[in-house]
Amino acid sequence: MKSFINGEKWRALQRSKFRKRLARERRHRKDLQRQRKQKKFYSSVPTVKLPEDFSLTGNPQETLGAFLKIQRRARKNRKVHIDFQPVQKIRLGALAYLLSIWELETATRPGLKFHGNKPVLQEPKSIYESSGFQEYTGQTSQRESHEPIKGQTFRITPGERVLPEVAASINDFIRDKFPTVNRILTKRIYEIILECLNNTKQHAYRGISNYRKWWVMAIHDQDRQEIHITFLDQGEGIPNTVKKRLMEKFSSSDEKILISTMKGEARSGTGERFRGKGLPTIRRRAREGIISNLLVISGEGLYTCTTKEERSSKLPATLRGTLLHWTVKHGNEGN
């Protein structure tokens, strides 16, 4: 039998339904207004789409091209939108270099604002969120911990001085992921990172008085049991800071200077006899197999080194500063 409610209850029910309908309509109007504002904003703000493979090590041509576009847009506009949605593969080195551009451009151009979104796919989105990129660029209001280690990532860590504790923290990260790691290997990694920090202090920013920043980061590839470590600065770059021979000042290319420097051919930019040993030492560790797949990018030069071969090539665009990337494999033996 159908039940009936009295008039007062019925009117209260109708009022409740009416209020809910008004609330839904109000939310719908706000959503439409927000969408219109976003559409208007993004149609008027220059947008740079990042490549599907956003990686300086795996896809330097397209990634450097995207960086060049970002810098050009930043110099002509007060707002730039960076679109991460096309990204299917992401590497910390590219994120860190984007962070360095973001920081340098906003510091030198008051009023400039960068905006961006997140990758859509879960894997690059996870790396993006765990890297620390959002916190350093002020894109999140969440008070997340700035502890360097987060899951499988040693978050992007900046600095301006030689900080041995950073090298020690990366060694802790390696030991955490590879509990049986050879102690000699971690000692060599510690030395390599200190060499990078010292090179930045001594050489990278010789002509830039108030800027000495570097960035370091690492990520653990669980499937391949590898840890990828990246270090970069935005200094003058190796080709511009090493000592050139007379003819090289007029004819030599960045890639030739880069491979010559890595081989240690008496190129200390300071002119001191004990300098100029850092990069050749890193190269030697790659040739010995202590680290794998060493890659160095500076200026228009790209250098790669393994136990079997080393080579250099010319990039289609210039990378300001220097990026070093290498891999630590589970089971490597230190010498």
pLDDT tens digit sequence for 134-149: 877 776 644 444 455 5
Q: What is the rounded CA–CA span in Å between residue 273 and residue 90? A: 40
Provide CATH code, domain 152-334: 3.30.565.10
224 Cβ neighbours under 8 A, 6+ residues apart = none
Residue-level pLDDT at 159: 86
The reported pLDDT for the residue numbered 305 is: 93
Q: Give the model's confidence band at 181: pLDDT under 50 very low, under 70 low, under 90 confident, else very high.
A: confident
Q: What is the pTM of this model?
A: 0.75
pLDDT band at 303 (very low <50, low <70, confident <90, very high): very high
Selected residue with higher pLDDT from 319 and 245: 319
Residue 333 has a pLDDT of 47
The pairing of strands 310-329 and 153-159 is unpaired
For the chain, the domains span 40-138, 152-334
pLDDT of res. 108: 82
- At 321 the pLDDT is 85
Q: Give the residue-averaged pLDDT of 237-247.
A: 71
More confident residue, 324 or 33: 324
d(CA 270, CA 202): 8
pLDDT digits (tens, 9 = 90+) for 50-70: 999 999 878 988 998 999 999
Window from 64-68, 96-100, 132-136, 312-316 with minimum mean pLDDT:
132-136
| CA-closest candidate to residue 73, choices 49, 95, 92 | 49
Distance CA 56, CA 205 (A): 22
Specify the residue for token string 């030069």. 301
Q: What is the pLDDT of residue 66?
A: 93
Reported as a single tens digit per residue, the pLDDT across 123-137 is: 899 888 888 888 777
Q: Which CATH number fits domain 40-138: 1.10.3470, 3.30.870, 3.40.50, 3.30.750?
A: 3.30.750
Helix axes 278-288, 183-199, angle to 10 degrees: 150
